[in-house]
Amino acid sequence: MSKTLLSFGHGYSARALARRLVPRGWTIYGTTRSADKADVLREEGVHPVVWPGGDLSKAFKSATHILISAGPGQDGDPVLNACRNEITALAPRLDWAGYLSTTGVYGDHQGGWVDESTPLTPSTRRGQLRVEAEAAWQAIEGLPLHIFRLAGIYGPGRGPFAKVRQGTARRIVKEGQVFSRIHVDDIAQVLEASINKPNPGTAYNVCDNDPAPPQDVIGCAAELLGLPLPPEVDFETADMTPMARSFYAESKRVDNTRIKDELGVELIYPDYRAGLQALLNNEG
């Protein structure tokens, strides 16, 4: 039976999933705000829809699966704001729905561990909006929803090497600070595993095995490049944008047991060292 994915906000992670699904014969409709990006998606075998404004009727008619990558704004979830009636009508016919959220929904745990049963206590407005968006999607009757709480995403074009090479990288040090991360190819692998083994109502933490201080990752990148270690800068005095600084408001280690035990996922890049080495290998 033919499978059709309607992908809202078809960006970095969704494109990685499409690279796995298109060769398997899937039809994928991906929304984008940009006509230029639509041309790129077309080259990747995706049917692009410039949206808002574009016609999604054919996609809604044929979709067997939907993926929501578009993030919420102050007014709530943009997809539900625009298409709630269509999605409510589509919900009972879907085989699978996925919502890409963030581990920011757990808030700050001062370096402690969190899993999917941890209460959602976000400490940023961004995290609160995600909690509200998760709840809004969960409230749609009959929707076979799976929530994926993504850690910090890296991958091709999103690694630390450029800044290290340019000499602009800094090792920002805040005592006790740790982040979890995930390579984009492992996000795609987790999503495909869930599509193949649906369990509606489930949330999954999507991260690697090794939460680590951010300065260690920058140091590893410099080491792999054979360049001097970037300077250490104290977090309190570091010149940072408010957005960058806000990420340091939360420190936690994210447990990924569920994606392994329930979905049978074996991470391609189990830690940042393996992921960075692969990025460097692929560059050359």
Does 160 map to a domain? no
- The span from the CA of 71 to the CA of 129, in Å, is 9
What's the confidence (pLDDT) of residue 112?
97
User: Along the 284 residues of the chain, how does pLDDT read in single tens digits?
Assistant: 789 999 999 999 999 999 999 999 999 999 999 999 999 999 999 999 999 989 999 999 999 999 999 999 999 999 999 999 999 999 999 999 999 999 999 999 999 999 999 999 999 999 999 999 999 999 999 999 999 999 999 999 998 999 999 999 999 999 999 999 999 999 999 999 999 999 999 999 999 999 999 999 999 999 999 999 999 999 999 999 998 898 899 999 999 999 999 999 999 999 999 999 999 999 86
Does 77 map to a domain? yes
Contacts of residue 166, defined as CB under 8 A and 6 or more positions apart, other chains included, come to none
Please name which of 142, 123, 120 lies closest in space to residue 133, comparing C-alpha atoms: 120
- The span from the CA of 39 to the CA of 30, in Å, is 12
What's the confidence (pLDDT) of residue 144?
98
Does 164 map to a domain? no
Q: Token digits for 53?
A: 């404004």
Q: Yes or no: say if 192 and 17 are a contact pair by the CB < 8 Å rule.
A: yes
Does 14 map to a domain? yes
DSSP 170-224: -EEE-TT--B-EEEHHHHHHHHHHHHHS--TT-EEEE--S--B-HHHHHHHHHHH
Provide the CATH number for the domain around residue 15. 3.40.50.720
Q: Which domain holds residue 61?
A: 4-154+182-208+254-268
What's the confidence (pLDDT) of residue 244?
87
- The span from the CA of 81 to the CA of 79, in Å, is 5
What's the confidence (pLDDT) of residue 247?
86
What's the confidence (pLDDT) of residue 243?
87
Does 80 map to a domain? yes
What is the number of structural domains in the chain? 1
What's the confidence (pLDDT) of residue 206?
98
Please name which of 128, 132, 134, 129 lies closest in space to residue 149, comparing C-alpha atoms: 134
Does 274 map to a domain? no
Does 170 map to a domain? no
What's the confidence (pLDDT) of residue 105?
98
Does 243 map to a domain? no
